[in-house]
A and B are shown apart, each in its own frame.
Chain A
Amino acid sequence: MDLLINAIVAGLLIGGFYAAVTAGISISFGMLDIVNIAHPGFIILGSYIVYIINATTGADPVAAAIVMLPVFYLLGMGIYLVYYAAFERRGQEALRGLAFFFGLLFITEVGLILVFGVDYRYVEARYIGPTWRIGFVDLPLRMLVPCVVSLLMVLGLQLFLMKSFIGRAIQAVAQDQLALQLLAADPTRIKRMAFGISMATAALAGAFLIIIQPVEPSVGREYIGRAFAICVLGGMGSLPGAVIAAMLLGVVESFTATFYGPSWAPAVSFGFLLATLAVRPAGILGR
């Protein structure tokens, strides 16, 4: 019983982190229809930048990531510019766009290996060691802090998308790009901003990742299947759906790890993805 509840809690905590990983993909893949499979690669890049800042100045990892947000935003805008000019305008995004992002993923991974090697890197922060204990439930702060900040981030994003002018413009692009063009708005400008935002979430997710576990360049690959499974399961482009799906996946993975052994956990997300695609491709909260 203790084990069961602890497994659920651990799953919910890791699910909060998965929500941060998926938020960026929900925006780029779900809303903008840009299949950014390089996103996990940029999350790892974020982890390494946070690691450098933390190792040199001792700054808090989350604060370091927040400082890096504008840089990632600009990086995202830059990538979108290339993507738009090379693929979207020519209408070739399906095959070559995928290959493009796959190449980017590969370049970030191998580039990081060349610079940092394949050693695991980790950060220092006050909350990484201790664990809160409520009754028999363990709440390791190393999991709790990323989970809470991540949920705040997703909440902020959702409010931004629902309330602000730009946010609603992004939703409009997601719904009908042609109609927006007819209203004399510039969809590419809005998509550029949205892609920048999606990339900025990678900086924060990277910080969470390196707080939760030591990072080496190829761990990003594990998150591709997970993030897309969550995105599809939650319903494309729905952030609340993504949070629910992330928690669900977190709990199921945690169960698998507790009762069958951690080496089986990566297979869970794939099962989720296939089941969703086969049974309900629209996802939980899909339109």
Chain B
Amino acid sequence: MRPWKFSLLMLAAGAGVFALALAIRSDYLFFAGYVVLQFIVLATAWNILGGYCGYVNFGTAAFFAIGTYTTVALHKIGTNSGRYLSGTLGELLQPLFPLSVLTLVILSGAVAGVIGLGMGYLTLRLRGVFFAIATLAMAVVLQTLVINWDFVGGSRGAYIIRDESLPVVGFKLGYVQYLFAIMLLLAAVAISVARLIEGSRLGYGFATIRDDEMAAEAAGVPTLRLKLIATTISGALMGMAGAPYPYYIGYVEPAGTFGLQYAVNSIAMPMIGGTTSWAGPLIGAVLLGSMQQIATVTISSAVNLLLVGVLLVVFVVIAPNGIMGLVLDWQHARRKP
């Protein structure tokens, strides 16, 4: 299937899901669905670097939080525009505020992408392990920065007051529904991007890095440039996923935004689903995300995180290629009995 056809299909699927969700008319569905969609974006973004290039990023929470705090900062500027936007530059920017969530998503993506590029530039020239450790440390450091940054509330956190609903051509759409739609769009975009990369020159370049970086380098593949591209795309998508979060949750504070659950989930979902294609993270995110939403309500949120950790370890030990790998093995075995 052509990439653009696939993107249209994804958008159509997204619209279908949204229509279905509207038809069911359950606010909880939107609320829980948002989190699952957010994990689809994060897992797909992680997989672009982790699954395609074989570079492990433990800093999902950091990129996510970059998006979140970009929104918080810009929202604060927007609500007090008279105070923060003065001078000629301020007057020029004035009409842009208050920013719509979509604008914030794009800006957050840009910021996170640039930070991903910088991180990559400093650490990607070395062995992949160092990059992994650096991303882990980066989460701690960004958290330190945010804790010390009073403008976005520091360790006290910040409140974001959102509208109850907003008018969309004739009828009122609830804000949660609106955010759900945005996240749905982001998920469709992320999956389309992943699929586009997979079938392109870029994707084959990534695969050579994953399989044997030394050989790829020797064969003339510009490995560093490809890795930087992957880090930037992956970071930008993670930042985008974080941008609407303050509006969704209403109150953000560093400990929650930098929580380990983002890092572990965005690794566990592709690993459990399968890392080599776009479908793996999608399957993993839908399964694991829904399971966690159910487990949080029925058991407890700590137990479901433990479950994710155990599933991750069990899957990497027993089924290294995830569910997709199991399915392919099964098909393979059936074909040549």
Contacts and interface: CB of A to CB of B under 8 A. Distances in A.
A107 B144 contact: no
B316 interface: yes
Q: Say whether chain B's binding surface is mostly helix, strand, loop, or mixed.
A: helix
B137 A37 contact: no
Contact of B140 (A103, A232, A266, A277): A266
A7 B148 CA distance: 22
A148 interface: no
Interface string A75-112: 00000001000110010101110111011101101110
B303 to A, nearest CB: 7
A264 interface: yes
A186 interface: no
Contacts of A109: 260
Contacts of A37: 58, 132-133, 136
B21 interface: no
Contacts of B147: 263
Interface in B217-267: 260, 263-264, 267
Given A35-B129, A263-B147, A270-B140, A102 B134 contact: no
Contact of B264 (A102, A264, A270): A102
Interface string B145-177: 101100000010000000000000000000000
Contacts of A114: 302-303, 306
Contact of A103 (B132, B148, B312): B312
Interface string A141-172: 00000000000000000000000000000000
A106 B141 contact: no
A270 B141 contact: yes
A266 B141 contact: yes
A12 B320 CA distance: 44
Given A267-B144, A270-B141, A277-B134, A107 B306 contact: yes
Nearest to A104: B313
A229 B312 CA distance: 26
B309 interface: yes
B123 interface: yes
Interface string B104-128: 0000000000000000001100101
Contacts of B310: 103, 107
Nearest to B54: A95
B141 A224 contact: no
Contact of B271 (A99, A222, A232, A269): A99
Interface in B313-327: 313, 316-318, 320
B312 A99 contact: yes
Given A96-B271, A107-B309, A274 B317 contact: no
Nearest to B270: A99
B40 interface: no
Given A98-B56, A98-B129, A222 B140 contact: yes
Contacts of A86: 316-318, 320
Interface string A240-271: 00000000000000000000010110110111
Interface in A33-81: 35, 37
Nearest to A29: B129
B99 interface: no
Interface residues of B, number: 44
Interface size class of A (residues with CB under 8 A): 35 or more
Q: Say whether chain A's binding surface is mostly helix, strand, loop, or mixed.
A: helix
Contacts of B184: none
Contacts of A187: none
A261 B155 CA distance: 14
A222 B313 CA distance: 22
A149 to B, nearest CB: 27
Contacts of B54: 94-95
Contact of A113 (B133, B268, B302): B302
Contacts of A221: 140, 260
A208 interface: no
B317 A92 contact: no
B130 A232 contact: yes
A191 to B, nearest CB: 17
Contacts of B320: 86, 90, 92, 96
Contacts of A278: 122
Contacts of B143: 266
A249 to B, nearest CB: 12
A225 interface: yes
A261 B147 CA distance: 12
Contacts of A96: 271, 316, 320
B289 interface: no
A263 B145 CA distance: 9
A81 to B, nearest CB: 11
A140 interface: no
B274 interface: no
A224 B134 CA distance: 10
11 contacts: A37-B136, A96-B316, A102-B312, A103-B312, A224-B137, A263-B144, A263-B147, A266-B140, A267-B144, A269-B137, A277-B123
Interface of A: 29, 35, 37, 82, 86-87, 90, 92, 94-96, 98-100, 102-104, 106-107, 109-111, 113-114, 218, 221-222, 224-225, 228-229, 232, 261, 263-264, 266-267, 269-271, 273-274, 277-278, 281
Given A113-B302, A218-B260, A277-B122, 12 more contacts: A98-B132, A102-B267, A106-B260, A107-B306, A114-B302, A228-B133, A232-B133, A264-B148, A266-B141, A270-B140, A274-B123, A277-B123
